[in-house]
């Protein structure tokens, strides 16, 4: 980066920066207007939200508070929450098995290590592989987990299995993108140094790429675990197992105090996973 580029990037009043900011403001304003967003609507409807949470006084226990912690179903909810975590863990394993090897083919730098050369056939092969893997990743992550769950429910029936498959397919696409971007951001010097010694692509990836990407891979994997636990709770709405089945059932029957109980269990579980993830992440940073 030359001096002129540094000045342009650091000067907020440079014409280019003013143009970018102006375009961003216009874009946000256009989206705000087109989607009919409005602060006054939220302020005017705030009372309706409070009324909904407090419940209908003519219907017993229709409010969300206090939570029904004395419910005989508490143990059932805890077991179903455990099932939800198990679903997320298995889905994460499936997604890693898919995403980890494919991410090296979705990264131009490691793909050039695996398939060296700049001749026509080598370049064509690399472009075909790169484009194909990227397309698979885009396809799997562009389709929401709920849609995948509905497809797998129709294939294998109700229960945790379709939820695991749905999360695994969707998360694999997300991880391919995240992993490949992490790989492409690594330093090239260790790769060049090891390649200069005549090492094959396996050794180059093992000793020059792995040490650089391990902290990033661990961080992204743990992040997706937390995300998958949250997503798995919603997949129960499709009949794909876990605590979401009970959450959907209680919402439909307006047993809102038990809904609050389920939400508390979900929040506590995600908080525990977050703390465990933070401890693991600290060992790799």
- Domain range for 19 is 3-54
Cis peptide, bond prior to residue 117, ω within 30 of zero: no
pTM of the model: 0.79
- Identify whether the C-beta of residue 174 lies closer than 8 Å to the C-beta of residue 91: no
Please indicate, yes or no, whether residues 206 and 267 belong to a single structural domain of this protein. Answer: yes
* pLDDT tens-digit map of 78-106: 888 888 889 889 999 999 999 989 988 88
Q: How many CA atoms lie within 13 A of 80 on its CB side?
A: 26
- Cα 227 from Cα 140, distance rounded (Å): 16
Give the max Cα distance, the chain: 80
120: which 2 tokens? 């026509």
- Identify whether the C-beta of residue 152 lies closer than 8 Å to the C-beta of residue 162: yes
Question: Between the CA atoms of 198, 203, 208 and 210, what dihedral angle is there, to the nearest 10 degrees?
Answer: 170
Q: Report pLDDT for 92.
A: 92
Please indicate, yes or no, whether residues 156 and 238 belong to a single structural domain of this protein. Answer: yes
- Cα 92 from Cα 228, distance rounded (Å): 8
Please indicate, yes or no, whether residues 163 and 135 belong to a single structural domain of this protein. Answer: yes
- Cα 77 from Cα 269, distance rounded (Å): 12
Please indicate, yes or no, whether residues 101 and 144 belong to a single structural domain of this protein. Answer: yes
* pLDDT tens-digit map of 113-139: 787 777 778 788 888 888 898 998 999
- Cα 66 from Cα 259, distance rounded (Å): 11
Please indicate, yes or no, whether residues 146 and 211 belong to a single structural domain of this protein. Answer: yes
Most confident residue range from 93-107, 149-163, 179-193: 93-107
- Identify whether the C-beta of residue 170 lies closer than 8 Å to the C-beta of residue 148: yes
- Identify whether the C-beta of residue 232 lies closer than 8 Å to the C-beta of residue 88: yes
Q: Is residue 250 part of a domain?
A: yes
Count: domains in the chain:
2
- Cα 123 from Cα 50, distance rounded (Å): 61
Q: Report pLDDT for 97.
A: 93
Please indicate, yes or no, whether residues 142 and 210 belong to a single structural domain of this protein. Answer: yes
Q: Is residue 63 part of a domain?
A: no
Please indicate, yes or no, whether residues 232 and 175 belong to a single structural domain of this protein. Answer: yes
């Amino acid at each position: 980066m030359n001096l002129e580029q540094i000045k342009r990037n650091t000067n907020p009043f440079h014409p280019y920066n003013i143009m970018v900011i102006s375009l961003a403001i216009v874009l946000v304003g256009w989206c705000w207007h087109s989607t009919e967003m409005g602060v006054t609507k939220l302020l005017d409807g705030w009372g309706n939200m409070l009324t909904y949470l407090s419940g209908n006084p003519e219907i017993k226990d229709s409010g969300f508070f206090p939570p029904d912690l004395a419910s005989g179903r508490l143990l059932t909810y805890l077991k179903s929450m455990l099932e939800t975590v198990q679903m997320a863990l298995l889905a994460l394993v499936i997604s890693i098995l898919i995403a980890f090897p494919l991410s090296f083919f979705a990264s131009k730098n490691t793909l050039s290590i695996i398939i060296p050369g700049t001749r026509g056939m080598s370049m064509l092969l690399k472009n075909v592989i790169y484009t194909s893997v990227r397309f698979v990743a885009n396809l799997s992550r562009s389709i929401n987990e709920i849609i995948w769950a509905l497809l797998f429910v129709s294939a294998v029936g109700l229960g945790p299995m379709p939820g695991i498959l749905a999360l695994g397919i969707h998360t694999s696409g997300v991880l391919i993108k995240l992993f490949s971007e992490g790989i492409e951001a690594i330093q090239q010097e260790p790769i060049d140094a090891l390649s200069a010694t005549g090492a094959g692509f396996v050794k180059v990836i093992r000793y020059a790429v792995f040490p650089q990407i391990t902290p990033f891979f661990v961080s992204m994997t743990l992040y997706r675990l937390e995300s998958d636990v949250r997503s798995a709770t919603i997949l129960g709405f499709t009949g794909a197992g876990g605590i979401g089945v009970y959450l959907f059932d209680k919402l439909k029957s307006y047993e809102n105090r038990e809904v609050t109980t389920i939400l508390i269990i979900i929040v506590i579980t995600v908080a525990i996973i977050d703390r465990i993830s933070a401890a693991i992440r600290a060992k790799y940073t």
